[in-house]
Every structure is written in C-alpha cells, then in structure tokens.
C-alpha cells in the first residue's frame, strides 16, 4: 500500500517538474532577455543564454536538471546566485512547523466539534455550518492580519511577526507559531468537523454500536473509541485534502507574518522571475504533498485492519 503510493508519487514528481519546464518554454519572450531587462549587448545576451543552458533543446535541459536534482543540486538562484537547495533547506523548517501545528489544531478541534455536533446536533451543528460559511468567506491572510491586530498589537500577548528557530528558543518558537497556525486552521477546522459529523452519524446507526451499548460499555468508550475509530477513514481522506490546501494557506500567512518559509521564498522568486528558484520550490512543495498523501495512506492501514491485511 505505502510502497505502491511511493511508486505512484514518482511520476507525479516527474510530471510537476516537467510541467514547470514546459511552462518555461511557453513564457512570452525569452528568459535571458527578461533577466537582462533590456540592458547589455547581444554578445552578453548569447553568453547568458548559454550559461542558462537555454540554447539546448528542452529535453536536454530537463534531463540535466533531473540528473543534478537527483544528487541534491538544484542549481543556482538566477537572482542571488546562491544554491537553490540550501536556500530551500533553510526555509523548509518554518513551513513544516506551521503545517504540523495546523495538523494538530485541525484534528483535535475538528474531531471534537464534529463528534459534539453529531451527538448533540442542534446548536453545535448550526454553529459549525455558520462558521464554515464564515471560514469560506474570510481570506486567511486577512484573518491573519486581524489576529495580529488583536493579539499582537492590541493585547500584546503574542509576537506579531518573525520566526524563532526551535533550537534557539523552543518557547519563542511555539509562541510565534500560534497566530500563523490559527490563521491557516480556522477555515479547515469546520471542514473536518462537518465530515466527522456526517460519518459519525452514519457509524452511530450501525449494529455494533447497539451491541457495544448492550454489553454495558460506557458511552464515552462507545463514542470516542469505537464509533470515532470507525468514522475516521473518510475524515482522514478529507484531512489529507485539507492539509494539501493548507500548503496554499502557509504561502499567504508567511507573507502576513513575515515568516522566512518556503512560501515567502517562492513569492520572492515569482517577483524576481527567478525560475531556477521557483523550480526548486515547486519540487519541495510537491514533496510536501507526497509526504501528506503518504501519511494519509499509512493511517488508513493503522485505522482499518482490513486495509492492513490486504
């Protein structure tokens, strides 16, 4: 199962990187000219083209990039001339930290709200429906700014911007992550809650719930252990989609909180036409997606014994 997914993720990686290369050739004008911004001589232009490998066919360019990528060499940033791989490696910790926080918040809050709404229905359910509409309505980057205005500028409880590495100061790392994580999560919590509610409603009607109750098990065990475990498969599927979407959320939130993550790096690459850097960033983002899908598959196996046996 997991191995199969790993095997399937290789074509995805190839395809995405190939796509960025094809885009490159679709670009209006010529990369070398764009980079020179109308300055320099024709000789310098040809020089730059050769330097970038643009004089060779696309297939050759792609093949060379792949060979280098396999050895961890993603080339140089067109703009700063630094190694793309080391730029990306410096930044990925921030993005992964946010993603981990989003995962924890979404799972705990989403499951709790979903189960409550399945059991109580009524106002919790209506609140989730309303909040999910509000969540859809409010762009995460605006929510981020409002949170900064309230909790950082107004109440001064939490830092407004910036990132402290975990190794440097774990407490500052955690405090700095709270608002970014909340900004990304708020939209997704209700998505998880809704799916949890629907699949809990389905599972609570199954025969074994009645027989567990007949055995005299306490409701908390029937609900939080047996029903939730059985209801969790579709929730995990949705959680996977939510986490893939959260990657987009980190891009905006990193800009709002001025966090040095992959997203802000990719945005500056877009601002500077830094195609080499963007190709590297795309590869990293795709790898993140692959890891998320892999975790989803692994938890299927953990949650459902039938999947495990096959």
What minimum distance in Å lies between the beta carbon of 105 and another protein?
A: 18
Applying CB under 8 A, which of residues 35, 84, 98, 281 lies at the interface with another protein? Answer: 281
Region 208-227 residues binding another protein, contact defined as CB under 8 A: 208, 210-218, 221, 226
> Hey, how many other C-beta atoms are within 10 angstroms of the C-beta on 197?
25
Return the residues of window 6-25 that contact another protein according to CB under 8 A.
Answer: 12, 15-16, 19-20, 23-24
Tokens standing for 17? 């990187």
| Beta carbons of 62 and 18 less than 8 angstroms apart | yes
List the one residue from 2, 14, 27, 100 that touches another protein (CB under 8 A). 27
Residues ≥6 apart with Cβ < 8 Å to 190: 110, 113, 128, 131, 132, 135
Q: Does residue 49 interact with another protein by CB under 8 A? A: no
Q: Is 98 among the residues that bind another protein (CB under 8 A)?
A: no
One DSSP character per residue, 114-173 reads: HHHHHHH-HHHHHHHHHHHHHHHHS-HHHHHHHHIIIIIIIS--S-SS----TTT-HHHH
Based on the shown chain and the rule CB under 8 A, indicate whether residue 256 belongs to the binding site for another protein: yes
The span from the CA of 192 to the CA of 231, in Å, is: 12
In angstroms, the CA 149 to CA 204 distance is: 43
The SS3 of residue 76 is strand
Please, what is the minimum distance in Å from the beta carbon of residue 83 to another protein? Answer: 18
What is the footprint of another protein within residues 65-84 (CB under 8 A)?
A: none
Minimum CB–partner distance for residue 170 and another protein (Å)? 27
Return the residue of 73, 80, 108, 248 that touches another protein, per CB under 8 A: 248
| Only segment of 68-76, 167-175, 177-185, 255-263 that touches another protein (CB under 8 A) | 255-263
């Amino acid at each position: 199962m997991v191995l199969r997914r790993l095997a399937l993720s290789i074509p995805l990686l190839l395809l995405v990187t190939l796509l960025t290369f094809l885009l490159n050739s679709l670009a209006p004008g010529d990369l070398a000219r764009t980079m020179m911004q109308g300055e320099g001589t024709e000789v310098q232009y040809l020089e730059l083209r050769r330097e970038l490998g643009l004089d060779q066919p696309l297939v050759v360019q792609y093949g060379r990039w792949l060979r280098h990528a396999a050895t961890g060499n993603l080339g140089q940033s067109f703009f700063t001339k630094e190694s793309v791989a080391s730029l990306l490696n410096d930044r990925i910790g921030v993005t992964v930290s946010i993603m981990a926080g989003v995962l924890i918040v979404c799972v705990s809050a989403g499951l709790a709200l979903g189960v409550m709404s399945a059991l109580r229905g009524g106002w919790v359910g209506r609140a989730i429906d309303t909040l999910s509409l509000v969540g859809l309505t409010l762009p995460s980057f605006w929510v981020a700014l409002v949170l900064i205005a309230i909790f950082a500028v107004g109440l001064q409880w939490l830092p407004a911007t910036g990132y402290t590495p975990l190794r440097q100061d774990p407490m500052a790392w955690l405090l700095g992550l709270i608002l970014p994580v909340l900004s990304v999560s708020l939209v997704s919590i209700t998505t998880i809650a809704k799916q949890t509610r629907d699949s809990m409603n389905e599972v609570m009607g199954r025969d074994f719930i009645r027989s567990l109750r007949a055995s005299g098990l306490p409701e908390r065990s029937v609900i939080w252990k047996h029903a939730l475990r059985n209801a969790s498969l579709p929730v995990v599927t949705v959680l996977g989609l939510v986490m893939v979407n959260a990657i987009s959320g980190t891009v905006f939130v990193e800009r709002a909180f001025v966090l040095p993550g992959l997203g802000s790096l990719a945005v500056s690459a877009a601002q500077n036409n830094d195609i080499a850097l963007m190709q590297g960033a795309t590869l990293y983002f795709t790898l993140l997606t692959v890891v998320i899908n892999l975790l989803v598959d692994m938890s299927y196996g953990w949650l459902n014994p039938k999947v495990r046996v096959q």
